[in-house]
A and B are shown apart, each in its own frame.
Chain A
């Protein structure tokens, strides 16, 4: 068929399975640019390292194979690029890559390959100065002959099934007159074979297949792993001719083997004699495991040696299913090589879900790129990151440095304890300086660039009790003491101003919270102080007069505020503050999760709170950030939320977005991205919530300690009486943001807005760019505890419902791709799953009463429940309940789909038994004022269409009823016409429509699209003729998405297919 295709592939998002850095120097003598080549399914992309999310080029390399590896040659004449994966390779010149006219010629290999590389040409009439060698899954070494366009066998190792392999080219040297290839092969049964073969130059390509064959030498059979070998890597020759092999396995270990002597070792016996196979039956033959590395929490997929010995250490990298990439080091050349410690020196986690599949290293710049199943690409400046060392100080060394010498302990013990000084509080002043108070009342500063401590002063009021805070980048700190005094200290001029925080209050200052307002050139500083039993807070303000030298503190004022709590309520213990100078509003957050708002322009004294709202029930509001519209609050309960504020008629807070990343949130910054920091386990962790990755993590011992933090600079904390400082420079970023890290199971859309739910338990919103067809990620919510299997928007897009395992069903209010808030939780049963449900908005004239959404939900135990969801109260009320069963047999099944039919004529139900059933809904069904739920009415239609599960279903209204298009686990595409008035159903089946289960069915214009686990997308034309239904397949295409689970028409003409990744197609109406 020569007509233009109906389906045009426009974008995809797939696991990143291959990465390679490429240095490009377009103009001689210019600074070389670094590019990243990315393999995603059968496509390659070129990314600019300097500009995240910018794709310089995207091209299809293979027709359907996935790219598993990219190898760049180091040839002097020209740089070649080799793409390989599955049973295909493709060779091209690097300089051709960016050109539009670059043609990718796919070369098929007779077997699956695990590694591919270039070797110098052995042909006397070279087409190129390089040739390609691959190792197959059956341990066979093949070389490609470009003249005859065929593969020939160089050698075959011991016959076995491999999971991994690595090749190293060994040029001829004094010991070996011939060039050789060294092969490391990791088998499915946990063995590692190291063998080599000499390469004989062939005079002509025709005879090469005979002369090229040579018996391979098996040097070592390395045994010890307790599971399949997922990667092997041969090290370069290190100092002292040391050479190692690294392996990683299903058993979660990395093992290092000394293979330095492989050349002089006796050949290992061949496998002609009968031997038992499997795990751990034989002793290792040669080579010894010198070290075992533990640490990864799941399977390890890749391991590679770094080429240089850093401080006499051998360094290597590993990537894992556990989402981390880790650097390891060990000491080579130790005499006792039995127990060499393989030390995990750095761990990076930039991915989510499961699996890092690929990586690339640039040793020159110290860069690591990682690619995950989540489609993310992470970039780590690993060398810079690992160079910055932690700094630690004991108080004594600081006191010595600043010239304070502790008194000679005349009376040890008691007196010593009294004068002994320890760290109390910290405050980050700027990028280069932080302040600290001590229990002896000292106020210190530390300058990072000069590595110097300075004493600002010592105050008796600060002895034993001090509160420290600072206005960032102002040079000013605020102090609260045990006599109710507050002080402002200029860290530059070392001037101090002290005053009583509250008249007639001599107790401790319990809290000091700072704010700042800028008007023109003038800064107004605010200090809110609280005492231990606060019903009244005092808000101090002042300005600094910098015209004088030294500067003077002027215009000091104090305003009294009444605590926002009403009588009888718990205390309002202030934990955070923000001042909006435009609206003159003061926001206070409390330990109980409350938010109080004051109008500073009000003249009432003491000032009353305009409102008090519980925004984060159960725990403290740790930060309040002012945004363009509204505020952002963070809480120690792990939640952060965006609130919009309307003032008239009454002040009203609306939560527009909330999410709960697994972090005890202590602070946040909102710029282009939302950055959150806080504690997770024993670590202080900074995360980029927008792109969902860990920015930094410092092991500090946990949350209960004094600490301060300057974003992207440093983190200071007390641990075991000592002050610690760790640099938190942003050495990690994402080059590509990706989506779900596990299989996507459901999709719903409204306009360009897409909601996806996956086995990673996350619900994600994104938008489909109308121009590029790319998915632009938005908000992420992780409220579900198991996989999300069904999603539905209400027709107006205001509400989204999500359901899945553990019987969970949630109602969400959606305002944009970045704004989603949980509005209601339906009752659930942990044993049950929800695979399908539908929503029907109910409009009631006049009042809110009765308006809402009707939900029909199908459960895995065959129950069907109808709930009424009330948006105003966020509650679900059970209206109808029944159990699905087939009429004659009284048998049940797992329900997979529930749909409200057009014109409210009933509920369509389909499940694992292959039947379509309709439960009629009476026109008078009124989901209000029912004391007890109604029973499910008897079925009006029951029609078996498929042999087993109906995996996909779509309904189209027609003149006298509906057409129901179905996809079955039985590979069939079904068409059922139901005359809803007379309850008559008629079905047609296209058997073997796909080679495997048909998991997505969609109406696309006048055609029907099906997609299945066979990764085929088919477009069908279904017409009703005199003889019944005729079906014609109009088009079939390959999808890069494995395990396709659903498809959806988005934004008019685009089809979005989800599974392991996302495929976007543009559907034209065609001829």
Chain B
């Protein structure tokens, strides 16, 4: 399929190339920010699982030049102005002093993470691995966040998402599940936006004894005010002109009483007049310079897939195009 076909089917892919973003995911952070004002008063921000660096790019372009931006990833990342890029494992104990050093030993205002594993197709495993990645990011975040700070991370809205919401709820004043319009509706991904970091008294974060592994999650203070079905009395994000139905006591069986669950309120962010990531659009006739529109090349080629050598082997053997080589 031609390049411009992808431009038609994915407006954010096209826009990312035209606006110089390393990946279309930049728009997800921009839309999250327009909803939650994440960058307001944020001067020290940490970007975890940052490569190829589109979220760091957003930080670099949006935050004032005096800000401290530190980006971490396992993979090397092309440098960005105003951003300190570190190659490090977020779960490793040595990463914390390294990170704090680059933050000038001051707590961070905001920690963000767009990390996700390569999905296998085994849904429960993929959700589990993603939740572990999120918890690892959270664990590092708790070590560097100032009280009242924010945490934004990618989440898979699958079977056990309510357990993850409940865990986050223990440490933050407000947990919202947000889906930017630039994130495909057909994708299981969304973002948790955690505002107002407020760990309970006596909570000592550490990378040695991570949350959920070495350390149990603290008891949520919010649970008392939560409704019988695990919801709290938060305001719902309803569209204009619809009425909320107040549920009576829900029936049905409570199947797994051991694990706390919480359904975070949902918000679709980004303006409805923004592009729809699921829709197909006609391509513009002229570009921003008034020239005839042409499909642009991506800013950064995608990182080499782990099966690159396998592809080369197959090519040498004269096999077909390797139709099965796709990962998802």
Binding site for B on A (CB under 8 A): 1, 15, 17, 63-66, 86, 108, 111-112, 137-138, 159-161, 163, 188-190, 225-228, 230, 249-253, 274, 276-279, 294, 297-299, 301, 321-322, 354-355, 357, 373, 830-833, 859-862, 886, 889, 891-894, 912-914, 943-949, 951, 969-972, 974-975, 987-992, 994-997, 1013-1015, 1018, 1028-1038, 1042-1043, 1060
- CB-based contact A161/B248 at 8 Å: no
- Asked if B146 CB lies within 8 Å of chain A CBs, one says no
| B 64-95 to A, binary, CB cutoff 8 A, 1 in contact else 0 | 00000000001100000000000111011010
Name the A residues within 8 Å of B272 (CB-CB).
Answer: 886, 889, 891, 913
B residues less than 8 Å from A889 (CB atoms): 272-273
Complex-state Cα separation, A995 to B265, whole angstroms: 9
Give Cα distance in the complex from A991 to B256, angstroms: 22
From known contacts A831-B5, A947-B268, A1033-B247, infer whether A912 and B279 are also in contact, taking CB-CB under 8 Å.
yes
Q: Does B306 contact A (CB under 8 A)?
A: yes
Distance (whole angstroms) from the CB of B91 to the closest CB of chain A: 7
- What B residues does A913 contact at CB under 8 A? 272, 276
Residues of chain A lying within 8 A (CB to CB) of residue B74: 189, 277-279
Question: What's the Cα separation between A986 and B308 when bound, in Å?
Answer: 55
A851 nearest CB across to chain B (Å):
33
Q: Is the CB of B242 within 8 A of A860?
A: no
Cross-interface CB contact of A989 among B1, B124, B238, B326, cutoff 8 Å: B238
Beta-carbon contacts under 8 Å, B285-328 to A: 306-310, 313-314, 322-327
Q: Which residues of A contact B250 (CB under 8 A)?
A: 1032-1033, 1036
Residue with the greatest number of chain A CB neighbours at <10 A, chosen from B213, B276, B326: B276
Contacts across chains A and B counted by CB atoms under 8 Å: 249
- CB contacts (< 8 Å) of B231 on chain A: these are 992
**A161-B123 CB under 8 A given contacts A1032-B248, A1033-B247:** no
Report chain A residues within 8 Å CB of B239.
Answer: 914, 944-947
Q: Which 6 A-B pairs have the closest CB atoms?
A: A227-B306, A252-B310, A996-B157, A948-B268, A1042-B123, A297-B324
Stretch of B39-47, B54-62, B113-121, B194-202 contacting A (4+ beta carbons < 8 Å): B113-121
A279 and B89 CA atoms in complex are apart in Å by 11
By the criterion CB–CB under 8 Å, are B241 and A987 in contact? yes
Residues of A within 8 A of B241 (CB): 943-944, 987
Besides A227-B306, A299-B327, 11 more A-B contacts (Cβ < 8 Å) are A160-B91, A278-B74, A297-B322, A297-B324, A298-B324, A322-B324, A894-B279, A947-B237, A995-B165, A1014-B162, A1032-B248
Known: A250-B306, A1013-B188, A1042-B123. A294 touches B240 (CB 8 A): no
| Contact (A831, B122) CB under 8 Å given A188-B129, A996-B158, A1038-B255 | no
CA–CA, A992 and B161, complex, Å = 12
18 contacts between A and B (CB under 8 A): A65-B124, A226-B307, A276-B87, A279-B74, A860-B278, A860-B279, A861-B279, A893-B276, A970-B266, A989-B236, A991-B244, A995-B157, A995-B165, A1013-B158, A1014-B162, A1028-B243, A1032-B248, A1034-B251
Least distance between A758 CB and chain B CB atoms (Å):
13
Known pairs A294-B313, A893-B276, A948-B268; A1043 contacts B123 (CB<8 A): yes
CA distance A1042 to B8 in the complex (A): 30
Q: Which residues of A contact B255 (CB under 8 A)?
A: 63-64, 1038
Most buried by B among A278, A354, A373, A886: A278
Chain B residue nearest to A1028 (CB atoms) is B243
Q: Judge if B28 is at the interface, Cβ distance under 8 Å.
A: no
B280 within 8 A of A: yes
Q: Which residues of A contact B266 (CB under 8 A)?
A: 947, 970-972, 991-992
Cβ contact of B278, chosen from A252, A278, A949, A1034, cutoff 8 A: A949
Whether a CB of chain A sits under 8 angstroms from the CB of B103 is no
Also in contact, A1014 and B159, with CB within 8 A (given A137-B128, A831-B5, A1033-B247): yes
Choice from B124, B136, B310 contacting A86 with Cβ under 8 Å: B124
**Which residues in B have their C-beta under 8 angstroms from that of A138?**
213
Q: Is the CB of A250 within 8 A of B118?
A: yes
B105 at the interface (CB under 8 A from A): no
Closest to A357 in B: B122
Q: Does B5 lie within 8 Å of A86, measured CB to CB?
A: no
CB <8 Å contact, B279 and A969: no
Q: Which of B177, B245, B258 contacts A1031 (CB 8 A)?
A: B245
Q: Are B123 and A1060 in contact (CB under 8 A)?
A: yes
A995 and B179 contact, CB distance less than 8 A = no
Bits for B184-207, please: 1 = Cβ < 8 Å to A, else 0.
010010000000000000000000
- Contact B324–A1031 (Cβ < 8 Å): no
How distant is the Cα of A279 from the Cα of B132 in the complex, in angstroms? 19
On chain B, the residues within 8 Å of A948 by CB distance are 179, 181, 185, 268
Closest Cβ of chain A to B85, distance in Å, is 14
Indicate the member of B8, B91, B250, B326 with the most A CB atoms within 10 Å: B250
Report the count of interface residues on B (CB-CB < 8 A): 83
Give the docked Cα–Cα distance between A945 and B241 (Å): 8
> CA A294 – CA B188 in complex, angstroms?
33
A64 & B236 in contact (Cβ 8 Å cutoff) = no
Chain A neighbourhood of B236, CB < 8 A: 989, 991-992
**Residue with the highest number of chain B CB atoms closer than 10 Å, among A355, A893, A912:** A912
CB of A984 to closest CB in B, whole Å: 12
B15 lies within 8 A of chain A by Cβ: no
In the assembled complex, B263 has its CB within 8 A of some CB on chain A = yes
Nearest chain B CB to A351's CB is how many angstroms away? 13
Taking CB atoms, residues of chain A closer than 8 Å to B245 are 975, 988-990, 1029-1031
User: What CA separation (Å) do A277 and B118 show in the bound complex?
Assistant: 17
Q: Are B242 and A969 in contact (CB under 8 A)?
A: no
Q: Give the distance in Å from the alpha carbon of A947 to the alpha carbon of B326 in the complex.
A: 33
Contact assessment for A1043 and B279 in the assembled complex, using a CB-CB cutoff below 8 Å = no
B256-287 interface (Cβ within 8 A of A): 256, 258, 261, 263, 265-268, 272-273, 276, 278-282
B185 and A949 within 8 A (CB): yes
A383 to chain B, nearest CB (A): 28
Which of A277, A893, A972 is the one whose CB lies under 8 Å from B88?
A: A277
| A-chain residues with CB within 8 Å of residue B162 when the two chains form the complex | 995, 1014
Contact A892 B279 (CB under 8 A): yes
Q: A161-B91, A989-B242, A992-B266 are in contact. Are A228 and B9 (CB under 8 A)?
A: no
Measured between beta carbons, the chain A residues less than 8 angstroms from B161 are 995-996, 1014
Q: Which residues of A contact B213 (CB under 8 A)?
A: 111, 138
Q: Which among B9, B128, B136, B165 is the interface contact of A112 at CB below 8 angstroms?
A: B128
A320 to B94, alpha carbons, bound, how many Å?
37
- Whether B243 pairs with A1042 at a CB distance below 8 angstroms is no
Q: Quick check: A1035 and B252 within 8 Å, CB to CB?
A: yes
Q: Are A894 and B263 in contact (CB under 8 A)?
A: no
State how many angstroms separate the Cβ of A953 from the closest Cβ of chain B. Answer: 14
Contacting residues, chain B, for A1035 (C-beta < 8 A): 251-252
Residues from chain A with Cβ under 8 Å of B94 in the complex: 274
With both chains docked as a complex, state the minimum distance between the C-beta of B137 and any C-beta of chain A, in angstroms.
13
Q: Known contacts A294-B313, A1042-B124: does B268 contact A970 (CB below 8 Å)?
A: yes
Determine whether the beta carbon of B188 is less than 8 Å from that of A253. no
| Min C-beta distance of B114 to chain A, whole Å | 17
Cα of A464 to Cα of B252 in the assembled complex, Å: 82
Contacts of B240 in A (CB 8 A): 944
Residue of B8, B268, B276, B308 touching A226 (CB-CB under 8 A):
B308
Contact assessment for B124 and A159 in the assembled complex, using a CB-CB cutoff below 8 Å: no
Q: Complex: how many Å from CA A893 to CA B273?
A: 9
Output the nearest chain B residue to A891 by Cβ-Cβ distance.
B273
Please determine whether B306 and A249 come into contact, CB atoms closer than 8 angstroms: yes
Q: In angstroms, how far is the closest chain A Cβ from the Cβ of B94?
A: 4
Inter-chain CA distance A619–B314, complex, in Å, is 32
Q: Are A278 and B89 in contact (CB under 8 A)?
A: yes
**Chain A: CB-nearest residue to B251:** A1
In chain A, what residue has the closest Cβ to B128?
A112
Question: Are B89 and A277 within 8 A (Cβ)?
Answer: yes
When distances are taken between beta carbons in the complex, the residues of chain A under 8 Å from B136 are: 161
Chain A residues closer than 8 Å to B88, beta-carbon distance: 276-277
